[in-house]
Structure 1
């Protein structure tokens, strides 16, 4: 898909408030967030969103410090993000949070089965991935740049859901959020070398442009990895939007040459009603 195709899909999504991915899954957009109705239709009414630069959720959210009632989450919910380092480690939050909690360390995936906790990741070209198993009532938020993706953060997080929570892949739903698109994400030889070593089917996710320049499709990479271990394509929704193309909607490290801001994407189980 070229830059013009991605731009057309993005404009259609924002203008019409809805679109469909290649698998036919519906994607919804408001003025500030993108959601996937299939998550909410799974029976647990899971709360989730992919943020844009118009979304104020990041205000008041510090790495490793739980926050209650910030923008984008219910006042009764905690939201947690952590320091990210382009690795593959996952933090499991398996207890109720308290205002005094501090999570000192680095993780690129957060997993929880606790109602009332929104786990969040920050991105500015990397891929935010949200996971939900409605059967085992567990959710995950994953941050994947090319390093984390090549190192297998997505299959490793899925394996954690299986081993720790008893999830079965046929029950898990994945949504791949806005990130640098193959239209714009040029990579050099060292990145290609790492990709070739870490992913056997690397040719499926690399496109050669004019003058022999290689472009990496990050979204396709994580999707291919999930399918390689047994995920059905029907269980994976892709928000096929490029963060580099759309300055008005997304922050982009690649476009701006520095971190001017990040988008926050989050998912959580609702607080149980008594």
Structure 2
């Protein structure tokens, strides 16, 4: 991952996706601007709706699109996937945690604050996806389901994809309880390094690897999977973290150009 400045906004970008001329992408920094205010994109994170609308308009401008061409879903940690087109209405993005599109000029994005944002680019078929995967989405295999939907709709194959697993809570900072441990073992099996046992039947969970496994199972080449290695807890000066008590949300998005 690398920091870039676009239209006065401090953003992060994937090294691998940056090499692809047919896409633009971004991950926002909580201190994206120099005005001293935190750059949050969620209407639920601030009582000042105008501030959020302004932030979204700045982000859209940095991507070279109109504000209504920036699509941010209302996320609920489930597995609804929406194919975005220029006629998609805001109400269609309710209770949604993954967006896909093959239309140029539409910027699709998800928000996070410890959960895993994942950006996908299908180089052969010209399609992109933005996926929000917390522990619930991960054990429900939202990434796998998004990949299958891309295959069904666009013809996407694993060999066609470039994937970026964005900033999120790392295993060292993510202790979970018995309920989560049981769900992870139910989905992925008990004998893997996704869980490091802790006291009181707790464990430390590796969301990065859990999502990487879904990409590998779909046939994505390991060399085409980039993990940011940026932990939202350890790098809290750059990214919001619910575990650290933040209410703000950063965003990760991608678009075809």
Tell me the TM-score range normalised by the shorter chain. Answer: 0.7 to 0.9
| Residues 185, 114 of structure 1: alpha-carbon distance in 2 compared, 3 angstrom cutoff | same
The 5-angstrom pairing of residues 1-274 of structure 1 reads: 27-30=1-4, 32-44=10-22, 46-55=23-32, 56=39, 58=41, 59-60=52-53, 70-76=60-66, 78-93=69-84, 95-97=85-87, 102-103=91-92, 105-200=94-189, 203-209=192-198, 213-256=202-245, 259-270=246-257
| Residues 203, 268 of structure 1: alpha-carbon distance in 2 compared, 3 angstrom cutoff | same
Shift of 1:54: 1.6
Q: Which 5+ residue runs of structure 1 have no aligned equivalent?
A: 1-26
Shift of 1:206: 1.2
| Residues 104, 110 of structure 1: alpha-carbon distance in 2 compared, 3 angstrom cutoff | closer
Shift of 1:71: 4.8
Contact 1:57–1:70 under 8 Å retained in 2: no
Equivalenced residues, count:
236
Any idea what SS the aligned residue of 2:119 has? strand
Shift of 1:241: 1.1
Any idea what SS the aligned residue of 1:249 has? coil
Shift of 1:265: 0.7
Contact 2:160–2:220 under 8 Å retained in 1: no
Shift of 1:39: 1.7
Distance 1:36 1:137 in 2: 18
Deviations 1:81-138 (A, max 9, x none): 1111101110001x3248x764353110000111111001000000000000121110
Contact 1:67–1:80 under 8 Å retained in 2: no
| Residues 53, 166 of structure 1: alpha-carbon distance in 2 compared, 3 angstrom cutoff | same
Q: Which 5+ residue runs of structure 2 have no aligned equivalent?
A: 33-38, 42-51
Scaled by the length of structure 2, what TM-score is found?
A: 0.83
Deviations 1:138-160 (A, max 9, x none): 00000000010011011111111
The RMSD of aligned alpha carbons is: 2.5
Distance 1:136 1:249 in 2: 34
